[in-house]
Structure 1
Amino acid sequence: MTKKHYPLFLLMMLIFGMMQVKAQTSLNDIKAILQSPYFEKLYSNTYYSLLDRMRKDGFLPESLTGAYEGMYCRTTGAMVSLLIETSRLKEAELNIKCVLDATTQNDMERIPHVIGIKDNKYTIISDEHQIDGQAHVLLAWARLALKRGHTNFEDKTWPLVSAIMKRTCDRTFFQHGWWSVEPGLVRNISFEHSREGRRWDVWDLLTQSFVGAALNDMATVAERRSETKLAADWRKKMEILQQGIRKNLTTVRNSDTTYLEMRLPDSNGGTPYLGMGWVTLSPVAAQWEGLNHQVMRNTVKAMQQGMLKKTNGLAWMPTDSYPDGTVSNEIIGKGQAWEMEFARTEKDYNRIKAILDLIKIVNAPKPVYMEGGWLDGNGHKQSEKISDTDLAAMNNAVWKTKDAGNGEQCAWWCWAMARLRVAAGLPAEPARVK
């Protein structure tokens, strides 16, 4: 390089460096987005739509649109997580109490799927056995107990929740032992999945994550209550579960160990299902990882490398990907929230910005957060599998949303937003915005 060209080279390097710096999103940039009128209003509207619809007894209707009847008990897991973040501990207790009261009033030994109210009494709309939803409620109870310390509510409800925890991890569903049909995982006979819009009979990562988290936190409460034998049993079962996850719910992708979404029963310990999606983010929501955190990092990296799509310059993470390389043309509300929370813990502010940019476009027509959205166009409607070739032809596709205000999705998104706001130096609970 001649002396004459050296200044030009330095100038080019300076410009390149400035471009690189500009491309990096900072936490202050995220803070500015969170404080923008759009997100201040969307977060406020969504948060208070949850609080305002909850009855004085804690009953929380799932849907504002009527798409879903009654209160879905699994939503208590998300709602209590949110209420702990915003220090609404009394409301958290009421929401849990409502579910437990419905359980006892209807002589059930487990958590129901959906409850209703008739003549001021709790009814069972669906008694479907969804053990992951049961674990959501147990974890919510334990997290609240650990947050507050000893209370009368804990004393009154401990006999019921401890009994349900015992049933959750006995060998009826927690299939561990010496037989080849027992993979050391908790079986979910009715996993409510976005895939194919149906229930699945599986050993899935979401169930393992929430049962594992519940075992850990319930054992801590048991220790505090001097029930050492019970605590030791739960901790031992948590270790067995971790071994089961390590052996039977991981796979190697691009030389990295990653989580499997689920294992399908075949009468002999199951076969791995190699699709990925929001379910593989479950450890983020449960705040419990059965394995080393690097496995979670590898999993998200594999999702972003193999699933992330871009339409009209807008990056979006499909609800699900399939073993044949196709993906769903949908996004799911809690999936956006869980990935956003993971990105917060990794300080990946570029990814957070991309998710917020997507939400602003997809959710824009609605005053509150969505259950999910889908890319509609070129003959493709809601909840379809599409290939990259299909996607390339969807030049005039538009984003549409469903069930704005959905309780579970809104609570998870508000939970992630509350944690992100605190990280940015903002209050977890928003002001009411008109």
Structure 2
Amino acid sequence: MDPVIVVDAADIQPESTESLRGPLHAPPTLTGSERHHVFVSYSSTDNQWTHSIINQLESRRLQVCYHERDFTPGRTVLENMSECIQESQKVLLVLSQEFVRSRWCLLEANMSLFRDCLERKPIIPVLLEPDVPIPLHLCHLTYLDASDPGFLKKLLKVLYTPNQQLQSSTVVPFQPPSIYNGKALQPLVAVDEEELNKYDPGHFNDMNVPDQLHLIIEDQEKYKQAMRIINRVSEIHLMTWSITNKVLLTLFLLLLFIILTGIVIYLFTEALVHNPFPVSIGLLGFGIVCFYMAGNGLLFYGAIWKKDQKKNNLRAMQKAAGEANIILSEEKLLIGCMSNSKLSLVYVFLDGCKQEFAETFSEDGNAEDMFKKALKCFSSGYACCLAKRHFPFSLVSSGGHLEGGVCFCQYVSQQLRTEQWE
């Protein structure tokens, strides 16, 4: 199995442009079915930057393959990508926000193509933007930074090095999935995010599994079932909000009608006794004050209600995420409720933590129930902490089931010091 490339700046010394053209840095020989030195995958929105790099590579005798020029018309994107990767020595990924959102999901959509790409071809990830959400299956790689002044020299150094020689210095073997344990994926955003008020719970797509989860979720029905649990919060909220609106509006109109009716009756009565002016003015002022106080009271109540409703809805979504995690934990996935319109996704193994619960509650005979209870109460917060890489307590030094981080049972233990089981 050929390894996956890891480009480290410490392993690549800057060289002059002239030296890169010399015989010691000539492009590797294409052998067998190879037609290209590198296949470049990028988003069309990054076309200008990528084509500038491609022109510089081709001016240095490197055979470059890219979709706009080299894909065969009439074939699917995946078929073209597969063939181009097979015919190229290396794969260059231009990572940007748009690439991760669109083209990377095409690569992940075909499991066999993705596995072949990782296991047989060196991958060179280029970070085009500093805040790009790194795809899960590239988390263990280091990157070439496009903003680095020595970027082109480092890239050429790697491309000029034959694959078999890369094994001795700048590459590591393909890692098993456990290396992604505890890694955050792209968050899920509510489909109605733009229409939401601050206190409205969002509605998430429960019909299709996101592209980034195709390689993780084996049973897609579990994912859909979990998302339906979370979406119940928004469905209940819409029903409650509708009823509350009607009640508040009815009370307001009733109060306004009583005040105005009282003013009219009193003015009419005073007019009958021929002393309408001073009393009428006073009564009118009193009515205005009453109306103003009633309106402000209603607005104040509405503000307090919205604030409480926001907290209640967020708490309900967190609880629903915990219930959903009882299902998703079997797929090594946890969801955390970050806000009313955004859910964090974390790829994490809980087998060790589940075994810990089994040993702790073995005498009670309810270890399975206690583990599900812990998932329901604490897994949403745990997923958010992993995604943000921040925990509300001092990190446990060692002994957990997550290398280099806090495992779920450690998190539950810490939380129970200040919180109670719900």
What is the TM-score of this pair, normalised by structure 2? 0.21
Q: By percentage of residues, which structure has more strand?
A: 1
Higher normalized contact order (CA 8 Å, seq sep 6+, divided by chain length): 1
What is the TM-score of this pair, normalised by structure 1? 0.21
Structure whose CA Rg is larger: 2
Q: By percentage of residues, which structure has more helix?
A: 2
